Structure 1
Amino acid sequence: MALLGGVTIALIPDDSKDPDLKPMATVTVTGLIGSEKRTFFENADVKAELAKQGLVVQVDSTGSWTMREQAKSNPKLDFAFPSSSAPAQDIQRNWGLKDSPPVPFYSPLVIVTRESVAKVLRQSGMAAVDPAGVWTFQMDAYLAALESGRKWEDLPAAQGNATLSGRLLVTTTDPESSSSGALYLALLSYVANNHQVVSDDAGVAKVRDVLYKATSLQGAQKSSSDEPFRDFEAGVGRPLVFGYESQVATLPLQGQSGEDKVVVMYPDTTVFSDHTMVARTPNGQKLASVLRDDDALHTLEAKFGFRTADRPTAFAEQTKDHLPKLAPDLKSANVRQADVPSLDYLTKLTKAAKGAQG
């Protein structure tokens, strides 16, 4: 699959005006990133902060699962930075690496919709909003609607809304190429398996039908997470789009006008996307350390919607005035975390969703 384009970070501090400072020696670091991090790496402030650390970073963006094959065929890569741990494990295995790869930041998976749609779901028992304005999406109620074949037209609250028709579905990316699509299967299988992670073939068999329905009824799926978000932003996407919370921070949603504003709904049980960096070389390891440990980068990561374990308050600080409303603290918002299956069982769930038997 063709890469989605290159980004070059090449801003090096100009110390020539200060005779007492010597220019910092720089290294060029080359790697692959998930498409959801493209805007972060393109940002001028991020470029400048990395340059202060002596790093010139050259990246191509692609779907996280597609990244596995590209990493195999490119021996010159310093790192690969998919959006979840499962493809990172596969890349690590292919590169023969033993150390646990670092997770510089993470992002919960959310559903993006319009306010009018969120209100329909709330009146139908599939969504709720707290006094602070944080929305949640009721996964058990949605699963029941999916299994029963419920349509938007079946919801009394949807009457008169011409944009709501057909099957009530959450739009996702292709789980064979994109991590967000695979994580959706992990979440749906967890809920359908009595809120337990699928860890054996019996569990796969139990959830097979609902995963196939949730995938096949979508028709053609996009290969990377930025594509459905761009469609949604342009007003041509479906009513419910599943993706990373971090992507919402990069949409130009501030200063919205009109009545039908964008709403972020947190599945009441969701999965977290651990953005995991697999460093193949010392230069890649240096970049991973900087992204994980540098306080200025923590602030920038939070600005782009990424949550960091080392400084959890940064996200709330940077997004407190954000529109649409984001949850400063997931625990306070009553958002529970589902466990993600092992790489082998996530692969089996993906095959089941695509119609493979056995």
Structure 2
Amino acid sequence: MQAFQNSSSNFSNIITKIKPDLLIYDAFQPWAAKFASSQGIPSVHFSTSGSTQFSFFHHFHTYKSFDTFPYPAIYQHEYEIRDLFTQGGSIKVKDAGKGFVFGIFELSHEILLIKSCRVIEDKYIDYFSELSHKRVVPVGLLITRNNEKENESEILKWLSTKNKFSTLYISFGSENYLSKDQIEEIAKGLELSNVNFIWVLRFPIGSGFNIEDALPNGFLERVKDRGIVEEKWAPQAEILAHENVGGFMSHCGWSSVMESVYFGVPIVAVPLKLDQPVNSRLVVEIGVGVEVKRDESGKFSGENVGEAISKVIVEESGEGFRSKVRELSEKVKMGEDEEFDEVAEQLSNICMKK
């Protein structure tokens, strides 16, 4: 991020040379939008996070309270609020303004683009528009798939030997790491629920951790016939698209939530930080998953994990989650072209006015 911010002078030279009709920027470079504006170039903000979390946190910024948020399904626990301010306070953005989230939305010309759709976030898109005084234009879920090398994956070959909806996919993204205690409790939950699983388990570079040391003694041997633990990489989109996957245990990063809905897979939510708890509450609200229960300090047990997994994959309730998420998936896909057309029209109008 520091290197990126240090590139602002080079960016200025590029903009001056090519003189684009429009700049699209994200949360971490308000300096880019400010320079473009000084050159008479309109800028439009594009967010890869959802409207629910932006409306929730913008409400707090405006009214200084989470409790008065108009949609009670979205909330935060005390430990999440404490962690949020600790984590958020460590982010330093060059040329940040004093408005909500560094003032990035105030710099956007007429509209805000957001990776979302009305099928999932209708009322939150409208409330975010109201708070930001900008028209929020959803661009859809922007899911990509590569059907070449992934189809040759040993993981997919293994998955094809399992029963329909019988397998849990577990991944916490590329920037989230579980503690040893959390790893052990998830492992315990997997043994209690007795489901098939594919677990992508990553560790921070230089941490010294490896799969054998992090997992409980004998775990890999006990689950060898029904589970894969992968440390490096797995073809996530192809796994979620596979008919034998019945659930996705996720930290609820926005892209992971969108992929799960797009491919019609219910979610076992284990949020870790920042916007993830809010995304998790949305998952529960729209009926496409469950959240693993925790105690007042934010800790979860293997029993909590096993209970949540069973609700999504083992028990009869799982069919209800699968039915709901498939319904949303179909609606999302039906609306993609319309959303693309709206985005194109809005951006064209801005360029024409210029």
TM-score with structure 2 length normalisation? 0.26
Structure of greater relative contact order (alpha carbons < 8 Å, 6+ residues apart): 1
TM-score, reference length from structure 1: 0.26
Higher strand share: 1
**Comparing both structures, which one devotes a greater share of its residues to helix?**
2
